[in-house]
């Protein structure tokens, strides 16, 4: 099945007869998603999709299918290397960033970047083990027929599902787990057949948070879904679930705030010190001393007040930046928020039903599920421990990181999965002891590398596979490599210890002027 056919089938399953082409809804589907960024290949001029917009001005790009893996780059003159600046100068035009990256057994990938073992993917980024995906980002775990979706695991047949897992047939729904047949919902878990509902758990046949008899629910749903289909046909868009920006018309009583368990930065500090020693040969200090450096390019976590009087620590990660500040609630307050109801009847039009949602439109911007321990000022934690100013799932000892997945001792990173003892790494999978590595997989002890796979002990390498003891894509005798590595690590440690930051990163060393 082509991605267009899959879209038509999904649309029909959720909304009825499909009169629209997939591409007519492209702009609508990309709202609130991380999108691939576009550049031009310096070789062919073709469009290159990239997972990040952090590359420095003057960087060069090419499509992964244009890489010549048999090319023999000019070796560096080892005797002329005195410091990191001399290495960067010697790299010259060798440093080039790749886009349209596809890994494993993938087919039918178009206009997308970072696809692993996936089939039929269009205009998307970071899709793993999934098929029939378009205008989506961060889709994984066997998901199928996902359109305009983001941050989902093992979901099926959905349009505009964001932050979901193990859910199916969802439309315009956010924060959904183990649910099905959701339509315009927010923070619903273990819920089946719900429309225009917020902050619900383990219920079915809901409209406006109100439980209805099955036949009454189905009658009202049929009417509202048909009006929604007509709205989509006419506008190629749909009202935002975040449209309720005004403060609540009726004030909410404050809730008693349960004191949080004591938090302990010590295990995080110990993991940071150990990781610095592993990567750079010495401990550098407290993790907060490097906050600006570690969090560069990531959304900042800031304290905020909820409508019930609580304190939360949201970040503008995912769609959280769209949430009206006057309607924030904490995860612990969601149960109380879910008791509020909107009385929607068959007399209401789609527009009228939307207006009635004002009293119940309250939004979490944090999410905690599973067995969590010592979560500090972090918006999301799922079966994780010792997480500080990050969001993480199945991870431990993480600070200043977005989307840490099944990882340990990672700092200052973005979308790092199945990795350990690494720092400042992005869009990568299965890294061990890596520093400033992007868009790479199954590699260890690498520094300042981009698009490397199955590499060990490499520095300043771009677009290579299966290298060891390599600098600038050229392999050297182990003793020569280790001599240069010792010098590089000492310089990195000294600069970080003194300035608490580095002026160069994997995102700017490929630019003409660094």
Separation of alpha carbons 32 and 136, rounded Å: 10
- The DSSP output letter for 503 is S
Nearest to 384 by CA among 370, 402, 364: 370
Tokens found for residue 336: 């109380």
pLDDT at 461: 96
Separation of alpha carbons 140 and 126, rounded Å: 8
Residue 108: enclosing H or E segment and its boundaries?
strand 107-110
pLDDT exceeds 90 at position 454: yes
- Per 3-state DSSP, the chain is made up of helix, strand and coil in percentages (nearest 5) of 25, 35, 40
Q: How confident is the model at residue 1 (pLDDT cuts 50, 70, 90)?
A: low
pLDDT exceeds 80 at position 235: yes
- Domain range list for the chain: 3-30+102-235
pLDDT at 43: 92
pLDDT at 77: 78
N-to-C CA span, the chain:
45
Residue 177: enclosing H or E segment and its boundaries?
strand 171-177
Query: If you average pLDDT over residues 183-204, what whole number do you get?
Result: 98
- Give the chain's radius of gyration (CA, Å): 24
Helices 3-15 and 214-235, axial angle in degrees (round to 10): 130
Query: What's the chain's average pLDDT?
Result: 93
- pTM as predicted: 0.92
Separation of alpha carbons 151 and 140, rounded Å: 8
**pLDDT tens profile 246-279:** 888 776 777 777 777 788 999 999 999 999 999 9
Q: Is 406 helix (H, G, I), strand (E, B) or coil?
A: coil
**pLDDT tens profile 21-50:** 999 999 999 998 888 899 999 999 999 999
pLDDT at 93: 67
In the 3-class helix/strand/coil scheme, how is 304-317 assigned residue by residue?
A: EECCCCCEECCCCC
pLDDT at 513: 47
Tokens found for residue 124: 């998307």
**pLDDT tens profile 147-182:** 999 999 999 999 999 999 999 999 999 999 999 999
Separation of alpha carbons 263 and 367, rounded Å: 18
Query: If you average pLDDT over residues 94-109, what whole number do you get?
Result: 91
**Using alpha carbons only, what angle is made at residue 251 by residues 247 and 254, rounded to the nearest 5 degrees?**
115
**pLDDT tens profile 304-326:** 999 998 999 888 888 988 999 99
């Amino acid at each position: 099945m082509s991605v267009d056919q899959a879209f038509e089938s999904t649309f029909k399953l959720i909304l009825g007869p499909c009169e629209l082409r997939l591409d007519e809804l492209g702009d609508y589907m990309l709202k609130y998603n991380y999108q691939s960024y576009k550049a031009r290949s310096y070789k062919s001029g073709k469009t290159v999709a990239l997972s990040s917009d952090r590359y420095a001005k003057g960087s060069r790009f090419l499509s992964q299918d244009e890489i010549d893996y048999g090319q023999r780059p000019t070796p560096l003159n080892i005797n002329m290397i005195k410091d990191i600046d001399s290495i960067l100068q010697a790299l010259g035009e060798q440093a080039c960033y790749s886009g349209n990256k596809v890994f494993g057994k993938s087919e039918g990938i178009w206009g997308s970047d970072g696809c692993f073992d996936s089939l039929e993917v269009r205009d998307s980024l970071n899709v793993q083990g999934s098929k029939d995906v378009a205008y989506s980002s961060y889709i994984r775990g066997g998901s199928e027929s996902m359109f305009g979706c983001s941050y989902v695991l093992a979901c099926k047949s959905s349009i505009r599902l964001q932050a979901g897992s193990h859910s199916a047939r969802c439309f315009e729904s956010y924060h959904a787990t183990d649910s099905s047949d959701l339509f315009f919902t927010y923070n619903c878990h273990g819920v089946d057949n719900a429309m225009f509902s917020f902050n619900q758990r383990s219920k079915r046949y809901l409209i406006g948070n109100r439980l209805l008899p099955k036949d009454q629910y189905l009658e009202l749903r049929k009417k509202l879904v048909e009006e929604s289909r007509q709205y989509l046909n006419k506008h190629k868009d749909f009202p935002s679930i975040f449209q309720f920006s005004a403060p609540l018309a009726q004030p909410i009583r404050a809730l008693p705030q349960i004191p949080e368990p004591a938090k302990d930065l010590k295990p995080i500090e110990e993991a940071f010190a150990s990781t610095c020693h592993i990567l750079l040969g010495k401990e550098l200090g407290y993790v907060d001393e490097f906050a600006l450096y570690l969090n560069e390019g990531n959304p900042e976590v800031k304290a905020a007040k909820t409508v019930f009087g609580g304190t939360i620590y949201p970040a503008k990660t995912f769609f959280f930046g769209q949430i009206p500040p006057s309607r924030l609630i904490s995860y612990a307050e969601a149960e109380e928020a879910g008791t509020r109801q909107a009385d929607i009847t068959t007399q209401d039009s789609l527009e009228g039903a939307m207006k009635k949602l004002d009293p119940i439109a309250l939004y979490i911007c944090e999410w905690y599920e599973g067995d969590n321990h010592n979560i500090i000022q972090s918006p999301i934690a799922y079966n994780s421990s010792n997480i500080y100013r990050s969001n993480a799932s199945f991870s431990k000892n993480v600070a200043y990181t977005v989307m840490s997945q099944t990882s340990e001792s990672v700092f200052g990173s973005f979308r790092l999965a199945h990795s350990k003892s690494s720092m400042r790494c992005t869009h990568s999978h299965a890294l061990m002891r890596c520093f400033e590595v992007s868009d790479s997989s199954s590699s260890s002890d690498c520094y300042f590398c981009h698009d490397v796979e199955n590499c060990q002990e490499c520095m300043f390498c771009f677009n290579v596979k299966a290298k060891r003891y390599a600098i600038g894509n050229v392999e050297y005798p182990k003793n020569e490599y280790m001599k240069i590595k010792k010098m590089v690590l000492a310089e990195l440690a000294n600069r970080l210890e003194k300035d608490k930051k580095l002026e160069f990163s994997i995102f700017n060393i490929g630019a003409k002027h660094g």
